[in-house]
Amino acid sequence: MPAQIPALHDLARGAVAEIGDVLGRIPPADVERLCDELLAARRIVVFGMGREGLMVRALAMRLVHLGLDAHVVGDMSTPPVGPADLFVASVGPGTLSTAEALLGVARRDGARTLVVTGQPDGPAPRGADTVVHVPAQTMADDGGGSRSVLPMGSLFEAAELVLFDLVSILLRERTGGSAEEMRARHTNLE
């Protein structure tokens, strides 16, 4: 007889519990630094590859909703970064040659750099001005002992998405903005 496949609801409860656990272990000082860096920047440019790229695109969208000048690497309208700007890279596994190259360009041209990662000792975070540690399974450690309900780096990516939306709430509170103002900045071209 084949092994019984867990019910969707059981898997969902496990995944949600894991995401909550990860968010509960993010150092509060990291979240404060992330908020400080975002608010201090003249311009914010974000980068991520694959699914992490989707998460930072979501962050950029929320930052625009907050009235901040945010862009995504690779979009044709993304301006250069320089002094007073912030380059944010999502590098869950701690190393990614493209991210490391872009971090080098941002540093060379005077921008501050921030890396969001599950592996804070990796090459990319070691070279950043600020590191936000999201303590979740990534592609760097998805084959070991205790494994997430979610495949590969999905736990990191899901926690990152929720973290970014929570940060947008914290930023809205810090700036005295409102949900209505955020909604007014949402695109009407849908």
58-87 tens-digit pLDDT? 999 999 999 999 999 999 999 999 999 999
**Looking at beta carbons, which pairs linking 24-33 to residues 24 or more positions away fall under 8 Å?**
25/135, 26/132, 26/133, 26/134, 26/135, 26/163, 27/133, 30/131, 30/132, 30/133, 31/132, 31/163, 31/166, 31/167, 31/170, 33/130, 33/132
At residue 92, what is the residue type? Answer: G
Q: Identify whether 157 is a catalytic site residue.
A: yes
pLDDT at 139: 84
The whole-chain average pLDDT of the chain stands at 94
Identify the CATH number of the domain in which residue 116 sits.
Answer: 3.40.50.10490
Residue 38 forms part of a structural domain:
yes
Max Cα separation, the chain? 64
pLDDT score for 142? 72
pLDDT at residue 108 tops 80: yes
- The count of domains in the chain is 1
Residue 1 lies inside a defined structural domain of this protein: no
Predicted TM-score (pTM) of this structure: 0.93
Residues 6+ apart with CB under 8 A from 14: 149
How high is the pLDDT of residue 4?
67
Q: Are 118 and 90 in contact (CB under 8 A)?
A: no
Active-site entry in 37, 52, 157, 160: 157
Which amino acid is it at 172? R
Domain membership flag for residue 171: yes
In a domain, 143, yes or no: yes
- Residue 145: pLDDT band by 50, 70, 90 thresholds? low
Average pLDDT over residues 103-119: 98
Range of the domain at 46: 8-184
In a domain, 3, yes or no: no
Q: What confidence category does residue 141 fall into, taking pLDDT thresholds of 50, 70 and 90?
A: confident
* 189 part of a folded domain: no
